[in-house]
Chain A
Amino acid sequence: MNSIGITSIIAGLALFIILTLAAYTVVLERILSAWIQQRTGPNRVGSPASGKMMIAAKNSIFLRIINIGWLQPLADVIKLLLKEDIIPAGANRKVHFLAPVIAVTIALITMSVIPFARGVYIADVNIGVLFTLAATSIGVYGITLAGWSSNSKYSLLGGIRSSAQMISYELAMGIVVVSVILLTNFRMADGSNCLSLVNIVETQVQSGVWNVFINPIGFLIFMTCALAEANRSPFDLVEAEQELVGGFHTEYSSMKFANFFVAEYLHVIMGSMMVVTLFFGGYGGPAENILGVASWGSVGQIAWGLGWFAFKTFFFMCVYVWIRWTIPRFKYNQLMNIGWKSFLPLSLVNLVVIAFVLALIYAGK
């Protein structure tokens, strides 16, 4: 257990880094989407090279890399701050104010149990996985309340869609998490505390076999459900422009809208982190036994762990963006069919198969 001082330092740092990261995920999304659609993407705000330099050095990869609008998030935030904050007539003012706050808070709360490197976590709760599930299950409030309090038909429909969607996809997600818990319990020698995210990562790192190799179907279902929980394409019916204008945040402007915007990208980051933690060995790198990471001393280990964790999280964030700009939006009936008729039975079968195989191995011992 870490002391209160170290915990608060880690918590402060994590909060600062993740909130900044959320802003830069927006830039990442803009750059990647521009590459996918063969556009230029953000290349003005904060780009050190002027227009003439760009023309002169058209094919310089170095200039292209540094010219990606590093200050774009700052410009976005200033723009949003200066906008007028409109509260629609007939809106419930209290709830209208509360909804974006809830959205960001709940998106951030998962961070408190994720291990970033060996010994670097805010809290090692002995029910860590359940904590993250609880955080996802209350995540629906921000959107639902925003939809209701705006006193607008589009917002309300968006909010109701989101609650139905999130409840549907939580089920499959929870069942996949149970299969991960079973695997962790099997691999822990003493069989204790297999709900802690720290232990889930440790079993993967120490054995060198990540859960994704044992439980690939579980990974696919979890990844997709995390996508649905984040309300991102192809599951973004909540804000389907053609049908619902802006969806649940139609009536939101200024920094309140920015809060929902940040919450969406926080969901992307947290979803990637959860995928990495549960299935891709968290802070574990490849060939740790051969390199002898365990004898590197604490600073080296933490740097190595943080590096790998950041790299894997970044990879999955890119996958999220990639999916968004590749796959078109589902129809509502398709969304429900996939959730209830495909993912739920598939995750149940996956769980039963894993439990059966583990029971056979136990019986053989």
Chain B
Amino acid sequence: MTFDSIFQIAFFWFFAILGIAGGIGLITQKNPVMAALSLILNFFSIAGLYLSLQAEFLAVIQILVYAGAIMVLFLFVIMLLNMQDEQNQQFDVMKGLAFLLGLGFFGELLFVFNSFMGKSVSGAFPLGKVEPIGMQMMTNYLFPFEMISVVLLAALIGAIIIAKKHSYK
């Protein structure tokens, strides 16, 4: 084994274990801020895994969008509303349903994982770099790309109108 491949494997396991730890932390932490921090840890580990697939663009976008924008907003809301620690709740029907759904999703993941077992992942993300993503967006997916822009613009205007509603009265 060369130094590079040992390093790659160590890199993968480091971020894989960190990501799982973050995921477990997210659902076990009682404190909402600690749960949010666990989720951020998870996002960072996934960005690390993207890096090991040589998908640098995806990795940075993962940090920029999820860790840098969405989770800041989450934290902002948690702090602003001063959310309390989660209380122990009784077992109810919704929790049972959620458990079943989670089990189904886990089975699905196992199925997908099984079909990729033993295959090389190097070059599995040809779209992980800037140039191919830009090329696809500006050629094959130009119309959906423009549509998303319009939808986002509509959401933006909607947010401004909702925020300004009181000042019109």
Interface residue ranges, A against B (CB under 8 Å): 92, 94-95, 125-127, 130-131, 133-134, 137-138, 140-141, 144-145, 147-149, 156, 159-160, 163-164, 167, 192, 195
Q: Are B56 and A140 in contact (CB under 8 A)?
A: no
Q: Are B68 and A160 in contact (CB under 8 A)?
A: no
Q: Are A134 and B68 in contact (CB under 8 A)?
A: yes
Question: Complex: how many Å from CA A94 to CA B25?
Answer: 14
Interface residue ranges, B against A (CB under 8 Å): 31, 33-34, 37, 40, 56-57, 60-61, 63-64, 67-69, 72-73, 75-76, 79-80, 129-131
Set A130, A147, A148: member contacting B60, Cβ < 8 A: A130
Q: Are B60 and A127 in contact (CB under 8 A)?
A: yes
List chain B residues, Cβ under 8 A from A148. 33, 75, 79
Q: What are 22 of the A-B contact pairs (CB < 8 Å)? A: A92-B34, A95-B37, A126-B129, A127-B56, A127-B130, A130-B60, A134-B64, A137-B63, A137-B64, A137-B69, A138-B68, A140-B68, A141-B72, A144-B75, A145-B33, A145-B37, A145-B75, A147-B79, A148-B33, A159-B79, A160-B80, A195-B130
List chain A residues, Cβ under 8 A from B80. 160
* Number of CB contacts from chain A to chain B under 8 A: 66
Given known A-B contacts A95-B37, A125-B56, A144-B79, A130 and B64 have beta carbons under 8 A apart: yes
Q: Are B72 and A163 in contact (CB under 8 A)?
A: yes
Set B57, B64, B76: member contacting A163, Cβ < 8 A: B76
List chain A residues, Cβ under 8 A from B61. 130
Q: Which of B34, B61, B76, B129 has the most CB of A within 10 A?
A: B76
Residue of A nearest to B75 (CB): A144
Question: Complex: how many Å from CA A19 to CA B104?
Answer: 51
Residue of A nearest to B129 (CB): A126
Q: Are A95 and B33 in contact (CB under 8 A)?
A: yes
Closest 3 pairs between A and B when the two form their complex, measured CB to CB: A137-B68, A134-B64, A134-B63
Q: Are A126 and B130 in contact (CB under 8 A)?
A: yes
List chain B residues, Cβ under 8 A from A149. 33
Residue of B nearest to A147 (CB): B79
Q: Are A160 and B76 in contact (CB under 8 A)?
A: yes
Distance in Å from the Cβ of B41 to the closest Cβ of chain A? Answer: 11
Distance in Å from the Cβ of A345 to the closest Cβ of chain B? Answer: 13
List chain B residues, Cβ under 8 A from A164. 76
List chain B residues, Cβ under 8 A from A133. 64
List chain A residues, Cβ under 8 A from B37. 95, 145
Distance in Å from the Cβ of A166 to the closest Cβ of chain B? Answer: 8
Known: A134-B60, A144-B79. 17 other contacts (CB 8 A): A92-B33, A92-B34, A126-B130, A127-B56, A130-B64, A131-B60, A137-B63, A137-B67, A137-B69, A138-B63, A145-B37, A145-B75, A148-B79, A156-B79, A163-B72, A167-B72, A195-B130
